[in-house]
Amino acid sequence: MARPKIALIGAGQIGGTLAHLAALKELGDVVLFDITDGIPQGKALDIAESGPSEGFDAAMTGTTDYADIAGADVCIVTAGVPRKPGMSRDDLLGINLKVMKSVGEGIRDNAPDAFVICITNPLDAMVWALQQFSGLPANKVCGMAGVLDSARFRHFLSVEFDVSMKDVTAFVLGGHGDTMVPLTRYSTVAGIPLPDLVDMGWTTQEKLDAIVQRTRDGGAEIVGLLKTGSAFYAPATSAIEMAESYLKDQKRVLPCAAQCNGEFGLKDMYVGVPTVIGAGGIEKVIDIKLGKDEQVMFDKSVDAVKGLMTACKGIDDTLV
């Protein structure tokens, strides 16, 4: 059986890391696409040349021609611009919306059967627009945010509790922005919910609140340190986790930006929610019941995403 084909649209910091991880995990043959000639070809060749030492079997190619992504099983989209210090994800909207239009059309015309994972920010609005520009079914188009936000939360919690990250589960809902909703009630250490750990004296409410805030600011913290761009190792790893679940039909339960059609009382919009990812793409949106305070935070986050959707409609009147 032929190997799966993975098209990476955007061969920048995240795109290159995605290609490397896909190769190391032997998820399939990789095509790196970018508008800047030389970058995708150079990164593809560089990674291919690491193959003999790593011992992976995966073809790596780079291209500036959408025809080369033909028949891709998975497309991961990072095309666009990242933020610099002082910028919010929302400041990227105008530029990246235009990029989503060309990327959506490229996928529509060349890889209409692919499972598409968008990473470009501002994430929830960009994946919503990408789905419309591509015309692909909504269950085949999703956005990577919740896996990353949850991973950041899990990392900070594991350091605070001095336990393995493997035993920390975390749950982050809502838009991928300052209003994201880390749900402490559903986050655990080996099944023990965080509020119980506060009661048990493992941490204090103040420390937990600080970790929640650090999670919300997780992207900005990295931007502030790097100064020249935004995070790329953890975002790439998170998207690869989603791609692997699709390609291997793992049916992982992962938080990601998915189209809600009735779930959480929302219609025709993308926002971070728990999902099941398997061979059918987004096979299920898990409609959990939120507590009163959680609902207030979630609604605020949803409003922020709706504001970005309205701004997108103001720029491109084909969006509905």
Least gap, CB of 208 to ligand APR (angstroms)? 27
Strand order in the sheet with 60-63: 60-63, 29-33, 5-9, 74-77, 115-118, 141-143, 252-261, 267-278, 281-285
The Cα 314–Cα 93 span in angstroms is: 11
99 touching ligand APR, by CB under 6 A:
yes
82 touching ligand APR, by CB under 6 A:
yes
H/E element, 285 = strand 281-285
Beta strands in 160-251 (DSSP E): 168-169, 172-173, 181-182, 188-189, 192-193
Question: Is 222 within any annotated ligand binding site?
Answer: no
Question: Is 110 within any annotated ligand binding site?
Answer: no
Q: Choose, by CB under 6 A, the member of 7, 13, 138, 187 that binds ligand APR.
A: 13
Least gap, CB of 4 to ligand APR (angstroms)? 21
Least gap, CB of 231 to ligand APR (angstroms)? 7
Residue type, 201: G
How many residues at the interface with ligand APR, by CB under 6 A?
A: 29
121 touching ligand APR, by CB under 6 A:
yes
Q: Choose, by CB under 6 A, the member of 36, 164, 204, 261 that binds ligand APR.
A: 36
80 touching ligand APR, by CB under 6 A:
yes
Q: Which residues pair with 168 in a beta bridge?
A: 189
User: In whole angstroms, how far apart are CA 43 and each of 16, 34, 40, 244?
Assistant: 6, 11, 5, 22
Binding track over 200-229 against ligand APR, x by CB under 6 A: -----------------------------x
15 touching ligand APR, by CB under 6 A:
yes
Q: Which residues pair with 62 in a beta bridge?
A: 32
Question: Is 185 within any annotated ligand binding site?
Answer: no
**Which residues, 6 or more positions from 136, have their beta carbon under 8 angstroms from its beta carbon?**
107, 108, 112, 114, 116
User: 123 vs 290, which CB is nearer to ligand APR?
Assistant: 123
Binding track over 295-314 against ligand APR, x by CB under 6 A: --------------------
Interacting residue ranges for ligand APR, rule: CB under 6 A: 9-15, 34-36, 39, 78-83, 92, 96, 99, 102-103, 119-121, 229-230, 232, 235
